[in-house]
Structure 1
Amino acid sequence: MMETKKNNAKHSNQVRIIGGTHRGRKLAFASAEGLRPTPDMVREKLFNWLGQDLTGKAVLDLFAGSGALGLESASRRASRVVMVDNNRDTVQSLNRNCKELGFRQAETLFADGITYLKNTMDSFDVVFLDPPFAWNRWAELFDLLELHLKNGAMVYVETGSLPQRPPYLETYREGRSGMSKFELLLYSQEFE
């Protein structure tokens, strides 16, 4: 059955930064099929788990969408934020929001998440994985992701049904909100 594209009146294509230097700022984002921004309550819980301040951290938001997680990280002083999305309109919205907020440490890329991981040499302290619910290439993603994680990295997964966790990640925290399930995973070379 084909999923129909709907605008959720609750978020009406706006996202609010909930913490850091730009707390309270509302930002517009482009509509896209399967796009569902992480709710404020979930982001608040997530950033409590991560620690409120991300100073010095390199962050990857692999399915950036509205930019809620990547922009929140930049507001919380991450030293580098890479936001990747495969929708041109979405990437243009992300670019506008980064410029409007003056986030020089944030970069946006128009790419498929898997392709990005195959073609980058970068590694990250925090990774956000919040693809559309219908997305199902988890095994391939997890095979590539390990090469891009710094020791002690945290990986956030949000989806309708949590994928099988790879052996190199340990569950740190987990929760649910509406139809979404989420977990924060810890990477350590000791788990291998």
Structure 2
Amino acid sequence: MRIIAGRFRGLTLASVGKGDAGAHLRPTSDRVRESLFSMLTGGRFGDPVEGAKVLDLFAGTGALGLEALSRGAAHVTFVDDGRKAQTLIRENIAKCRCADQVTVLKRDATRLPGGSPHDLIFLDPPYGKGLGEKALDAAIKGDWIAPNALIVWEESAAIAPLDGVTLLDTRQYGDTVISVLRRV
């Protein structure tokens, strides 16, 4: 796993290895991440990355948030409560030498306290457990998601319509479905 583009381009991230089966670590592949960021920066959604305040829920290795930071995001808040994930996120932040541009929260993404609004949200919950809906609801109620923010949701199937967001696009990459939403 590596950073695809930007100032950290080519940097190899910490290996998940065999990982922790209970941690549900399933990093977004380089191919899917490259396609996702090509879609985001292609102009259809404006420029949601440059200067953005990014929220990476169920951050895992932190690869999505670090890719955004590499491509010009101003700040990334990583949220994950897993021990293995916390270790990987911190190791990858050290590799990127970007500790001054990130915040790491050891929290359950479905139980967020009050926060400050973010412009770009990555939501990559364990597949098929209904945690994405709960995390999105907690983030909206906790004021973590700015009006008109772009939300990128990675799941194993298309998501059902939800209150407070509009579905803009859906793409499938093998067993991964990426849905792009906008907060209304």
| TM-score, normalised by the number of residues in structure 1 | 0.81
User: Are 1:124 and 2:118 counterparts?
Assistant: yes
Q: What is the distance in 1 between the residues matched to 2:181 and 2:28?
A: 17
User: Are 1:55 and 2:43 counterparts?
Assistant: no
Shift of 1:61: 0.6
Structure 1: 5+ residue stretches without partners: 1-14
2:20 aligns with 32
Matched-pair identity in %? 33
1:107-162, CA deviations, whole angstroms, 9 ceiling, x for partnerless residues?
222111012x2x13211101111111143234433332323221221101111123
Structure 1 counterpart of 2:34, one-letter code: E
Structure 1 counterpart of 2:82, one-letter code: N
- Work out whether residues 29 and 90 of structure 1, in 8 Å CA contact, stay in contact via their aligned partners in 2: no
Q: What is the distance in 1 between the residues matched to 2:160 and 2:55?
A: 21
User: Are 1:151 and 2:147 counterparts?
Assistant: yes
135 and 32 in structure 1: CA distance in 2 versus 1, 3 angstrom threshold:
farther
111 and 29 in structure 1: CA distance in 2 versus 1, 3 angstrom threshold:
farther
- Work out whether residues 122 and 152 of structure 2, in 8 Å CA contact, stay in contact via their aligned partners in 1: yes
Aligned to 2:76, the other structure's residue is in SS state: strand
- Work out whether residues 130 and 159 of structure 1, in 8 Å CA contact, stay in contact via their aligned partners in 2: yes
141 and 80 in structure 1: CA distance in 2 versus 1, 3 angstrom threshold:
same
Structure 1 counterpart of 2:96, one-letter code: L
1:22-68, CA deviations, whole angstroms, 9 ceiling, x for partnerless residues?
11111114423322111222212221232276232110111011211
- Work out whether residues 125 and 131 of structure 2, in 8 Å CA contact, stay in contact via their aligned partners in 1: no
Equivalences, count? 172
User: Are 1:43 and 2:33 counterparts?
Assistant: yes
* Equivalent runs, 1:109-188 vs 2, <5 Å: 109-115=105-111, 117=112, 119-146=113-140, 147-188=143-184
32 and 156 in structure 1: CA distance in 2 versus 1, 3 angstrom threshold:
farther
138 and 131 in structure 1: CA distance in 2 versus 1, 3 angstrom threshold:
closer
Structure 2: 5+ residue stretches without partners: none
Aligned to 1:21, the other structure's residue is in SS state: coil
| TM-score, normalised by the number of residues in structure 2 | 0.84
- Work out whether residues 60 and 88 of structure 2, in 8 Å CA contact, stay in contact via their aligned partners in 1: no
Provide the aligned C-alpha RMSD in A. 1.8
89 and 130 in structure 1: CA distance in 2 versus 1, 3 angstrom threshold:
same
- Work out whether residues 142 and 166 of structure 1, in 8 Å CA contact, stay in contact via their aligned partners in 2: no
User: Are 1:69 and 2:55 counterparts?
Assistant: no
Larger-gyration structure (1/2)? 1
2:3 aligns with 17
Q: What is the distance in 2 between the residues matched to 1:37 and 1:62?
A: 13
